[in-house]
Amino acid sequence: MTAKVEALGYVGLEVSDLAAWRDFAAGQLGLQWAPRDDGTVDIRLDSHAIRIRIHEGPRDDLAYAGWEVRDAGALEELHDRLAAKGIAVERASADAADRRVLDLIRFPDPEGNVHEAYYGPLQRTDRPFVSPTGARFKTGAQGLGHIVLACRDKAVMLGFFQDVLGFRISDHIRTEVIPGRPLEISFLRCNGRHHSLALAPVPIPKKIVHLMVETTSIDEVGRAMHRCMAAGTHLSFTLGRHSNDNMLSFYPLSPSGFDIEYGWGGLEVEDESWHVLTHESNSAWGHIFQRPPRPSKPASN
């Protein structure tokens, strides 16, 4: 397969509380908050003009995932493959300037999540990335990080991402992330990052389970965790080290009710030599699930 996606380039999030997100993303996680004239916000992690696009709205969920391809030829080839498979792919060149890319296409996966593929992301080396906390993030050829999507029929979703978009399976984890709920999560890569996408058959009301960003320093993970704790942000999973990609991370609950995984030390995979593995534990240590606090009851008269 010559034309395939090569990185998670950006994600669009629809969030209901912009002010809370600003405090969370910039103040606690150290991401750069860059408001736009149209009321949306770009969150930057590196030289790319956009890595996370924040839209104000009621859904508090993933709006779209943007996948980077190499060039115009790869985008055209991917478009034609999607169309040949009967997938409702649309040319979305009119939105390219808004996404700060040269061209893009838009298409659904088998469960209706919106995806975009694009090439030519705008680089802002003239306005360098500045973290409000001094954090730096591992991106480059490995892209923004990874997303975990909730799914109903994992076999169908795995087929789509492998056969149509060119992902390869790194491994599967058969475990109980939450005690009493066994499940198998599958991890897929499109570059040297162990996974840019994972599929979790979990019955949750949101499309996204979590978005992972990776720092370049273990100290940044510790500092961010303590900023979250000081701010009273709930940690859905405590500090831990994942069994499969070695990521040392913790999971603060975002103001939209899905998690951010904030990590360091993720495994790089050699595509030519990697063999599919399985695990029976989500983590080598830590990552203890903590139930979210119950909403406080209204005071009775």
**Min dist. Cβ of residue 116 to Fe ion (A):** 21
CB atoms within 10 A of CB 180: 5
Which of the ranges 62-70, 110-118, 222-230, 259-267 carries the binding residues for Fe ion, by CB under 5 A?
259-267
The tokens for 37 are: 């004239």
The helix (H) or strand (E) run that includes residue 35 is strand 32-35
- Which residue stretch of 109-117, 160-168, 256-264, 277-285 sits at the interface with Fe ion (rule: CB under 5 A)? 256-264
Which residues does 120 contact at the CB level (< 8 Å), separation at least 6?
71, 72, 101, 102, 103
Q: How far is CA 61 from the centre of its chain?
A: 12
* Cβ count near 73 (within 10 Å): 12
Query: Closer CB to Fe ion, residue 5 or residue 149?
Result: 149
Taking every pair of Cα atoms in the chain, the longest distance, rounded to a whole number of angstroms, is 67
Report, in Å, the least distance between residue 131 CB and Fe ion: 21
What is the rounded distance in angstroms from the CA atom of residue 21 to the CA atom of residue 233?
12
Specify the stretch interacting with Fe ion by CB under 5 A; choose among 4-12, 82-90, 183-191, 204-212. 204-212
Q: What part of residues 221-240 is at the interface with Fe ion (CB under 5 A)?
A: none
Residue 21 bridge partners (DSSP): none
Q: Of 60 and 261, which has the nearer Cβ to Fe ion?
A: 261
Instruction: Return the DSSP state at 108.
Output: E
Residue 212 interacts with Fe ion (CB under 5 A): yes or no: yes
Among 214, 261, 266, 269, binds Fe ion (CB under 5 A): 261
Contact in structure between 264 and 214 (CB atoms under 8 Å): yes
Gap between the Cα atoms of 224 and 146, Å rounded: 19
DSSP 300: P
- How many residues bind Fe ion (CB under 5 A)? The answer is 2
Per CB under 5 A, the segment of 30-38, 107-115, 153-161, 258-266 that binds Fe ion is 258-266
212 or 228: CB nearest Fe ion: 212
CB of 212 to Fe ion, least distance (A): 4
Minimum CB distance to Fe ion, residue 261 (Å): 4
* CB 145 to Fe ion: min, Å: 8
Q: Read out DSSP for 221-254? A: HHHHHHHHHHHT--EEEEEEEETTT--EEEEEBP
C-beta of 68 vs 261, nearer to Fe ion:
261
- 95 vs 289 by CB, closer to Fe ion: 289
Closest contact distance (angstroms) between CB of 240 and Fe ion is: 11
Work out how close the CB of 90 gets to Fe ion at its nearest, in angstroms, rounded to a whole number.
30
What are the residues binding Fe ion (CB under 5 A)? 212, 261
